[in-house]
């Protein structure tokens, strides 16, 4: 702290005087070294800046600053400093080696080679230079095949080849860009994005890189991320021919998405959510992964308005693009709202196949199965149209009346008859339970004695036989009532 104060005060003095004393420069160099040792690179850099300004003819100071730049990953500035070093001191081998190595990492083979050869002309046995030249020629060899591979559209081989070269030339923006393109040809957008992102860092004014990065992120449906990167392009060039129109388009989509999400999650304004999602689909007729989100919102928002037909339809549209477990559960809920229990159960099981421990799907499955059971369970009193305290006599009377009315023989073949058969079976089951004291007591306690799930399957229970015990043969039945 104390030292800093002195530095600042001295700085002011020098500004006034217009020159810097050697003492002051030494101080900066000392601080620079200290910060460097502590790994505080930015602080070290500030002091080396000051030292360079104080004495622009000292090659060692440039060399030190160049080393810090290199540690910060700023190869461009490191190279400028090393150029200066070699301008001031042509035979400073460490700088020449370092410059050669940077150039090699950038895949600038010819320039790098000159530096290494220069070192060898002074020190023919310099191990570092010999080793570097060896690696250089191997990378250069590998490089020769790339164009042929690209020409043959063999992008898997391009990726492999470039990956090898990048071990020697990790700072080559061109190689990373080409690998990104090849990944994209292979449909691997995640890897393509990772490579193109690194080119935006390797090249400081890479508007093209930001444009590609943004369009690829958008293709993946990552609209927010895409917007962020296209803004980086516009920071470098506000009127960029491709970046600006793309920015305008995705900013609009992004706004619709945000508003639809708010309508869905916060205000529960499902009609707005539907409207906004439809606008996204209108603005974006091509990119499936962007449409996916709109269809997903429609799936949820139509469920919110109880428009189950449209909910199910949009859930399916989204599922055709991506089978995400959360979406599958939303689809299950749409089916549940439509009381389509089999479909709901199937969807929850689908989600659990992808994510076996998904709580939402587990609970949903349980709920759907319960509701299905409830919907299937029969209220025997209702079926016969008697009150819950009806006597056995009343029950038998009601049964006879209903059974006559719904006997399948009274109906024509087809839907009508099928419905009657089902009714008839229910009516017989109701009589079976409500005329048996034990079964009736069970039913009154909320249990269905005929429920196959409860382990007492209606074995031997034949509704027609039951009926005929009361009425004799079908022939007699007809005779009796006609
Ligand atoms: C469901 O939504 C569609 C589209 O908005 C509409 O045409 C249809 O009438 C709606 N159905 C119901 C049952 O509300
Ligand atoms: C059954 O209970 C209702 C009231 O819950 C009563 O009004 C009715 O008289 C009762 N019927 C018989 C048969 O006990």
Half-sphere exposure of 400 (CA within 13 A, CB side): 12
Ligand found nearest the CA of 388: 2
> Is 368's pLDDT higher than 60?
yes
Question: Does the beta carbon of 308 sit less than 6 angstroms from any atom of ligand 1?
Answer: no
The per-residue pLDDT for 456 is 42
Pocket flag, ligand 1, residue 307 (CB < 6 Å):
yes
- Domain annotation for the chain: domains and CATH numbers: 380-482 (1.10.287.110)
pLDDT at site 47: 94
Pocket probe for ligand 2: among 381, 389, 395, 397, the residue whose CB has the most ligand atoms within 8 Å is: 389
Least confident of 280-294, 305-319, 382-396: 382-396
Closest C-alpha residue for ligand 1 atom 1: 307
Identify the residue whose C-alpha is closest to ligand 1 atom 11.
Answer: 307
Q: How far does Cα 457 stand from its chain's mean position?
A: 48
- Closest-CA residue, ligand 2 atom 13, reads 390
Answer yes or no: is pLDDT of 12 > 90: no
Q: Which residue minimizes the CA distance to atom 6 of ligand 2?
A: 389
Segment 32-44 shows an average pLDDT of: 92
Q: What is the pLDDT of residue 411?
A: 87
Taking residues 402-407, report their average pLDDT. Answer: 92
The residue written with tokens 């023919």 in the block is 124
DSSP secondary structure string, 357-394?
T-HHHHHHHHHHHHHHHHHH---HHHHHT--TT--HHH
Ligand 2: distance of its center to the CA of 388 in Å?
8
Give the separation between CA 108 and CA 103, rounded to whole angstroms: 5
Percentage of the chain exceeding pLDDT 70? 89
User: What is the predicted pLDDT for the residue at 418?
Assistant: 83
**Residues 344 and 336 sit within 8 Å (Cβ to Cβ):** yes
What integer is the mean pLDDT of 128-140? 97
Q: Mean pLDDT throughout 338-350? A: 94
Average pLDDT score over the chain: 89
Q: Which ligand is nearest to the CA of 391?
A: 2
- The confidence score (pLDDT) of residue 158 equals 97
Contacts of 437 (CB under 8 A, 6+ apart): none
Q: What is the tens place of the pLDDT at every residue in 59-112?
A: 999 999 999 999 998 899 999 999 999 999 999 999 999 999 999 999 999 999
Closest approach atom of ligand 2 to CA 391: 13
Measured from the alpha carbon of residue 306, the closest ligand is: 1
| DSSP assignment letter at 467 | H
* Mean pLDDT in residue range 215-220: 96
Q: What is the 3-state secondary structure (H, E, C) of 104-129?
A: HHCCCHHHHHHHHHHHHHHCCCCHHH
Q: Structure pTM?
A: 0.69
């Amino acid at each position: 702290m104390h030292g800093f104060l002195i530095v600042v005060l001295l700085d002011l003095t020098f500004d006034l005087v217009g020159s810097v004393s050697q003492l002051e420069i030494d101080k900066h160099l000392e601080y620079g070294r200290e910060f460097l040792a502590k790994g505080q690179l930015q602080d070290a850099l500030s002091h080396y800046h000051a030292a360079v300004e104080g004495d622009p003819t000292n090659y060692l100071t440039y060399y030190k600053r160049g080393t810090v730049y290199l540690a910060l990953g700023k190869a461009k500035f490191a190279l400028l400093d090393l150029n200066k070093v070699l301008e001031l001191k042509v035979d400073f081998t460490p700088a020449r080696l370092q410059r050669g190595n940077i150039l090699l990492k950038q895949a600038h083979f010819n320039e790098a080679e000159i530096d290494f050869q220069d070192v060898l002309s002074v020190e023919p046995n310099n191990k570092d230079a010999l080793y570097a030249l060896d690696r250089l020629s191997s990378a250069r060899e590998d490089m020769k095949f790339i164009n042929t591979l690209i020409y043959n559209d063999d992008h898997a081989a391009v990726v492999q080849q470039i990956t090898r070269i990048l071990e020697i030339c990790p700072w080559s923006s061109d190689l990373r860009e080409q690998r990104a393109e090849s990944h994209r040809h292979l449909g691997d957008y995640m890897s393509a994005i990772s490579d193109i992102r690194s080119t935006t860092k390797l090249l400081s004014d890479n508007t093209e890189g930001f444009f590609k990065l943004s369009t690829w992120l958008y293709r993946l449906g990552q609209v927010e991320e895409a917007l962020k990167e296209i803004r980086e392009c516009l920071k470098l060039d506000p009127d960029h021919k491709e970046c600006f129109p793309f920015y305008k388009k995705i900013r609009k989509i992004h706004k619709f998405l945000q508003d639809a999400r708010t309508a869905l999650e916060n205000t529960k304004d499902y009609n707005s959510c539907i409207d906004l999602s439809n606008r996204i689909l209108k603005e974006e007729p091509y990119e499936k992964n962007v449409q996916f989100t709109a269809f997903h919102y429609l799936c949820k928002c139509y469920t919110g308005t109880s428009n189950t037909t449209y909910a199910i339809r949009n859930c399916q549209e989204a599922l055709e693009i991506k089978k995400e477990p959360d979406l599958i559960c939303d689809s299950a809920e749409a089916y549940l709202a439509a009381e389509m229990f089999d479909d709901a159960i199937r969807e929850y099981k689908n989600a659990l196949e992808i994510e076996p421990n998904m709580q939402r799907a587990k609970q949903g499955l349980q709920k759907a199965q319960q509701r299905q059971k409830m919907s299937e369970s029969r209220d025997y009193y209702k079926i016969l149209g008697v009150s819950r305290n009806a006597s056995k006599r009343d029950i038998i009377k009601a049964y006879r009346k209903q059974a006559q009315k719904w006997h399948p023989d009274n109906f024509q073949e087809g839907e009508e008859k099928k419905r009657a058969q089902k009714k008839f079976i229910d009516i017989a089951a109701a009589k079976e339970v409500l005329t048996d004291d034990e079964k009736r007591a069970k039913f009154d306690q909320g249990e269905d004695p005929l429920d196959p799930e409860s382990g007492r399957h209606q074995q031997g229970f034949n509704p027609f036989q039951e009926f005929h015990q009361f009425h004799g043969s079908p022939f007699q039945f007809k005779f009796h009532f006609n």
